[in-house]
Amino acid sequence: MDRALEMIGYDDLCREQASRRGNGNGRRQLGIGFSSYIEACGLAPSAVVGSLGAQAGQWESADVRVHPTGSVTVYTGSSSHGQGHETTFSQIVADRLGVAPEAVEVIHGDTDLVQFGMGTYGSRSAAVGGSAIAGSVDKIIEKGKKIAAHLLEASAEDLEYEDGSFRVAGSPDRALGLGDVALQAYLAHNYPDDLEPGLSATTFYDPANFTYPFGTHVCVVEVDTETGSIELLRYAAVDDVGNVINPMIVDGQLHGGLAQGIGQALWENAVYDDSGQLVSGSLMDYALPKIHNLIPFELDRTTTPCPHNPLGVKGVGEAGAIASPPAVVNAVVDALAPFGVTHIDMPLTPEKVWRAVNAD
Amino acid sequence: MTVSIQLEVNGKPVQAEVEPRRLLVHFLREDLGLTGANIGCETSLCGACTVLVDGSAIKSCTMLAAQADGTAVTTIEGLARNGELHPLQDGFWEKHGLQCGYCTPGMILSANYLLEQNPSPSDEEIREGLKGNICRCTGYHNIVEAVKYAAERMS
Amino acid sequence: MYPAQFDYRRAGSVAEALGLLQEHEDAKLMAGGHSLIPMMKLRLAQPPVVIDIGRLDELKGISEAGGGVRVGSLTTHADIAASDILAASCPVLAEAAGHIGDAQVRNRGTIGGNIAHADPGSDIPPVLVLLGASVHLQSPSGTRSVAAADFFQDLLMTDVGEDEILTHVDVPAQSAGTGSAYLKFEHPASGYAVVGAAASVTVHHGRCTAAALVVGGVGAVPTAVDVSSLIGSDLSDDAIADAASGLDTEDPIGDIFASGDYRVHVGKVYGKRALAAARDRA
């Protein structure tokens, strides 16, 4: 919250608000709204959701295959519909396995190819799906150490894995690249007796706990008290989603979530008539956030790694959508404080706001 | 009945017999296999079906194929040149201007029309110029950045 | 969504279009198609024959004519919004056209199609009524013109006869000392006007000599407000607010976004603001 206050220039805004209120409650009132949140994300420990009545486990699966050439294919049950899994999951493998991101292919969403998985929702893909991938990569490294140790005539315990190479600790010249080890794993000509050929691993990762992203969002609005219409002036968000794998994708997820949440607060409304007919059934009546109604978002973050998953990530998909509706509504209610307004139901359509201003 | 139409699509001549009620977007997608123009809202509001007709951005779900007779149509498939992405395509890539990608072809063609009219638009002009295109993923923040990126490179 | 089946005829001239209209009962004329095609996709309209008049160059364009401006019925909203002639003589029409829909819609939609459809949330009708424009119609038996105020008859109903084609709109040029403005309260989903207020005032030597206010969106047709109380005044904010508060509609339209009462209220507020903006431009 300290950082959010600083970003938004809170003291100046308070002065501006006071001056507008001072002028006999002029027609353009300024409102500042806050929302500080802690989410439970990264769904979820299977035993917990089972105790709550869920009919499925909430683990995620990952099959990581290192090919004889050293390139990698990841089969994940967490499918992407725009969240950038191909990029983020490639990065997880690239960072952990010391290969180029371009050498990693991510396969998802095709049930002919991918093992059972639980999907993308609940800010879980990185925290649960990503952790499953990390688990498989770790298994591959462990197996690779045994193969490399055999080839290098060393003990597996003495091997280190760094930057895509298996090295004998203390003897930097005794090393084998991942590609060499992968090739030998598939040739299996000179190979440990107690090891299966091949270099792939499957992991079903069941998280030990939910993850708990947190943050503070601040929204500044101007309310036209004559008509009840609302204009967004500023929006600042400081989120802690744990370690960040790809900052651009994390920001993009926040932007999209903010639009969803602001839309919910201001416009989106499924309306049924008395006979149960949906009367907001097309975009002629159902208002989505449009580009000219939104503003640039001001983002910052702190980083507190999640303590119980291998990546230290918490998930970011929902942060924007969860934090923004209260921030927006609080801003509007704050603007209307001089009129005695303490609550308005979402969505805050101009007519509802106008009626709230003019309520006795 | 059918109507004979001749038009140019992405620089190539096309001749076809179409039902009068064939919408341009269906003609492009189903008859020509150009599936870049998407069908979103069907009420002329979402802009996913935007293409250029004689250089003007239009919604191809609200135009009959018969009306396009004699015109030159550009779809997203016709924007790259010699394997080189158009600066707008590059901008959407570089600035993460898309997530699911459904709105992107229409968004890029609207932005292309905007930059033809106004080569160096302000943020506000970009937002006004693209108001006929809805995006459900990005919150539009990076779309504005992508258009600015392209505007700089095209100038 | 597909429209129901229909036969398509493309007219090469106004005369040919009139002939086709005679020949085919229940045929519909189509200009840009931006009102008709959505109605046909929803099957709210199922004409057996569509006569495409979109290519009749004789009905396109903006020109100075008889002390005013002639706007051909097939002129697109984009061309109206960008017209130098209108910017000089009737800027409020260009201003309103620039508020219609979005860039893609303005590139296809035409003024003739727009007013013949007569949606109560359309931006053009209140401006034409404000300006005292005349709508010109042609039929096999000749031509006639109708004042814009009489042209809009009811919800989606106009004075266009079944055998007529809307050819052009004549708009009187704005007189010296006149300012005008169109203010729109936009529906967040459809982009139509919940309320659209068109105002003009003429000022000579600090005194108002003419004033008009027409509000769209609150009634089935544009609602003219009697603002004659402003004539002779100095157009003070109070005088303007008082005049705009005269907006009255017997049966205001309402929907799930904005009730009739609320539309009337916003109509008064936007009427006041449009008059003030017109004053500031005079």
Q: Which residues in chain B are closer than 8 Å to C12, comparing Cβ atoms?
A: none
The A residues from 320 to 359 touching C (CB cutoff 8 Å) are 349-351, 354-355
- The confidence score (pLDDT) of residue C250 equals 85
Average pLDDT in the C167-196 region? 97
- pTM, two decimals, is 0.96
Helix-, strand-, coil-residue percentages of chain C, each rounded to 5: 35, 30, 40
- How far CA B150 is from CA of A291, A297, B126, C80, in Å, comes to 18, 20, 12, 29
- Picking from C188, C190, B40, B102, the residue whose alpha carbon sits closest to that of residue A268 is C188
CA C202, CA C213: separation in Å to the nearest integer? 12
User: How confident is the model over C143-152, as pLDDT tens digits?
Assistant: 999 999 999 9
Helix, strand or coil for residue A213?
Answer: coil
User: How confident is the model over C28-60, as pLDDT tens digits?
Assistant: 999 999 999 999 999 999 999 999 999 999 999
Is the model's pLDDT at C128 over the cut of 90? yes
Cβ burial A321-345 (10 Å sphere, 16+ → b, else e): bbbbbbbbbbbbbbbbebeebeebe
DSSP assigned state of A304: -
State the average pLDDT for chain A. 96
Q: Which of B1, B64, B129 has its CB closest to that of C33?
A: B64
Say if CB A198 and CB A68 are below 8 A apart: no
Is the model's pLDDT at A23 over the cut of 80? no
- The confidence score (pLDDT) of residue C66 equals 86
CA C19, CA C40: separation in Å to the nearest integer? 23
- Picking from C123, C61, C60, the residue whose alpha carbon sits closest to that of residue C92 is C123
Asked if the C-beta of B113 comes within 8 angstroms of chain C's C-beta atoms, the answer is: yes
Q: Verify whether the Cβ–Cβ distance B67 to C6 is below 8 Å.
A: no
- The confidence score (pLDDT) of residue B154 equals 94
Is the model's pLDDT at C188 over the cut of 90? yes
Say if CB B121 and CB B114 are below 8 A apart: yes
Q: Verify whether the Cβ–Cβ distance C7 to B44 is below 8 Å.
A: no
Q: A104 exposed, middle or buried (CB, 10 Å; 0-12, 13-18, 19+)? A: buried
Q: Which residues in chain C are closer than 8 Å to A229, comparing Cβ atoms?
A: 185
- Picking from C140, C223, C200, C131, the residue whose alpha carbon sits closest to that of residue C169 is C131
Q: Verify whether the Cβ–Cβ distance C188 to A267 is below 8 Å.
A: yes
CA A72, CA A57: separation in Å to the nearest integer? 28
DSSP assigned state of C5: P
- In the A/C pair of chains, how many CB contacts fall below 8 A? 45
Q: In chain A, where does DSSP find H-type helix?
A: 2-8, 10-22, 46-51, 85-97, 131-152, 178-187, 247-266, 319-335, 350-357
Q: A18-32, A265-279, C36-50, C111-125: lowest mean pLDDT where? A: A18-32
B61 — phi, psi (to 5°)? -85, -10
Residue where the block lists tokens 């008082």: C242
CA A202, CA A196: separation in Å to the nearest integer? 14
Q: What is the pLDDT along chain B (155 residues), one digit of tens a residue?
A: 899 999 999 999 999 999 999 999 999 999 999 999 999 998 899 999 999 999 999 999 999 999 999 999 999 999 999 999 999 999 999 999 999 999 999 999 999 999 999 999 999 999 999 999 999 999 999 999 999 999 999 98
- The confidence score (pLDDT) of residue A99 equals 95
- The confidence score (pLDDT) of residue A26 equals 79
Q: Chain B closest CA to A255's CA: distance in Å?
A: 5
Cβ burial A32-53 (10 Å sphere, 16+ → b, else e): bbbbebebebbbbbbeebeeee
Q: Which residues in chain A are closer than 8 Å to C190, comparing Cβ atoms?
A: 283-285
The B residues from 73 to 112 touching C (CB cutoff 8 Å) are 110
Q: Give the confidence band of A138 by pLDDT, cuts at 50, 70, 90.
A: very high
Asked if the C-beta of B58 comes within 8 angstroms of chain C's C-beta atoms, the answer is: yes
Is the model's pLDDT at C158 over the cut of 90? yes
**Closest chain C CA to residue B114:** C103
Q: Which of B1, B19, B132 has its CB closest to that of C102?
A: B132
User: How confident is the model over A252-300, as pLDDT tens digits?
Assistant: 999 999 999 999 999 999 999 999 999 999 999 999 999 999 999 999 9
User: How confident is the model over A288-338, as pLDDT tens digits?
Assistant: 999 999 999 999 999 999 999 999 999 999 999 999 999 999 999 999 999
Q: Give the confidence band of A115 by pLDDT, cuts at 50, 70, 90.
A: confident
Q: Which of C259, C269, C270 has its CB closest to that of A351?
A: C259
Can you spell out the DSSP letters for C89-134? H-HHHHHHHTTSS-HHHHHH-BHHHHHHHT-TT-SHHHHHHHHT-E
- The confidence score (pLDDT) of residue A360 equals 75
Q: Give the confidence band of A116 by pLDDT, cuts at 50, 70, 90.
A: confident
Average pLDDT in the C88-112 region? 98
Q: Chain C closest CA to B84's CA: distance in Å?
A: 27
- How far CA C223 is from CA of A157, C159, C227, C234, C263, in Å, comes to 87, 17, 12, 25, 12
B8 — phi, psi (to 5°)? -115, 125
**Closest chain A CA to residue B141:** A296
Residue where the block lists tokens 């870049």: B36
- The confidence score (pLDDT) of residue C41 equals 95
Q: Verify whether the Cβ–Cβ distance A282 to B42 is below 8 Å.
A: yes
Is the model's pLDDT at A25 over the cut of 70? no
Token duo for residue A2? 């300290």
Partnered with residue A334 across adjacent β-strands are none
Q: Which residues in chain C are closer than 8 Å to B59, comparing Cβ atoms?
A: 104-105, 108
- The confidence score (pLDDT) of residue B42 equals 82
User: How confident is the model over A229-248, as pLDDT tens digits?
Assistant: 999 999 999 999 999 999 99
State the average pLDDT for chain B. 97
Top pLDDT among A334 and A118 is at A334
- The confidence score (pLDDT) of residue A103 equals 96
Average pLDDT in the C226-237 region? 97
User: How confident is the model over C267-279, as pLDDT tens digits?
Assistant: 999 999 999 999 9
Q: Chain B closest CA to A292's CA: distance in Å?
A: 5
CA A97, CA A103: separation in Å to the nearest integer? 11
Residues 6 or more apart in contact with residue C53 via CB below 8 angstroms: C11, C14, C17, C29, C30, C31, C59, C74, C165
Partnered with residue C165 across adjacent β-strands are C138
Chain B interface mutation, best of A291, A292, A294, A316, highest count of B Cβ atoms under 10 Å: A291
Is the model's pLDDT at A86 over the cut of 80? yes
- Picking from C189, C262, C250, the residue whose alpha carbon sits closest to that of residue C221 is C250
Residues 6 or more apart in contact with residue A31 via CB below 8 angstroms: A17, A220, A221, A222, A223, A330, A331, A332, A333, A334, A335, A336
Q: Verify whether the Cβ–Cβ distance B132 to C104 is below 8 Å.
A: yes
Q: A178 exposed, middle or buried (CB, 10 Å; 0-12, 13-18, 19+)? A: buried
DSSP assigned state of B28: I
Q: What is the ipTM of this complex?
A: 0.96
Amino acid occupying residue A59 = W
State the average pLDDT for chain C. 97
CA A320, CA A254: separation in Å to the nearest integer? 5
**Three-state secondary structure string covering C248-259:** CCCCCCCCCCCC
